[in-house]
Amino acid sequence: MEDKKRYTFTVFTEDSPGVMHRIVSIFTRGCYNIESLTVSETEKKGISRFTMVSTVPSDKISLLVNQIKKFIEVVDAAVHLDEELLFKEIAFLRVSYKNKQEKAEIEQLASRNHAGVIITNEKSLVLEKTGTEDEINALKDAFADKLILSFVRSGRISIDKHAGDKVV
């Protein structure tokens, strides 16, 4: 049986059309699902940061990183386990309510889950939560018996705890 672990891949690339497709295709060819993908600018102009989360066999990590590094647009690539990173997501949850009492219950439940109410109207509230995947999932689960109209979450953003993720 393969030893699979969850890894966060950090890839720094030159801003270039098609580079995301080529990076993702490495995972696709290996039949590895990308659970989360976030692309953002970095402290260096013209350089993008890809943060990808995937569960892959431990013996395939070096191969994947080396394949990614072969692309001419790739400046650097690294892989980390969760304990090596600080990481968060953001989520929005729109919850319907019928009356003031139900609205108050939703606000209290949001507060207990460290979520903020960012928009309210006569029929629904939009909650915002920043946290780990588990914290975001806990918020969604806390509202399982309410009428959730919509739920959206970002991909992971992360930074190495030991400052090893600087663009070279």
CATH number at 143 reads: 3.30.70.1150
Last residue of a domain, one of 54, 80, 106: 80
* pLDDT of res. 168: 45
Which range marks the domain in which residue 95 is found?
A: 87-153
Give percent above pLDDT 90 in the chain: 88
pLDDT score of 1 more than 60: no
Confidence label for 2 from pLDDT (cuts 50, 70 and 90): low
Residue with tokens 């590094």: 69
Does residue 13 sit in the same domain as residue 76? yes
75 and 135 both lie in a single domain: no
* CB-facing half-sphere around the CA of 145: CA atoms within 13 A: 5
Neighbouring residues of 44: CB distance < 8 A, sequence distance ≥ 6: 167
Q: Is residue 120 part of a domain?
A: yes
- Amino acid found at 33: N
Report the predicted TM-score, pTM, of the whole model to 2 decimal places.
Answer: 0.85
Hey, CA dihedral for 154, 52, 85, 40, is it positive or negative?
negative
| pLDDT tens per residue across span 93-134 | 999 999 999 999 999 999 999 999 999 999 999 999 999 999
Tokens of 25: 């295709």
Q: Which residue is it, tokens 């993908």?
A: 37
Question: Which CATH number goes with the domain that contains 45?
Answer: 3.30.70.260
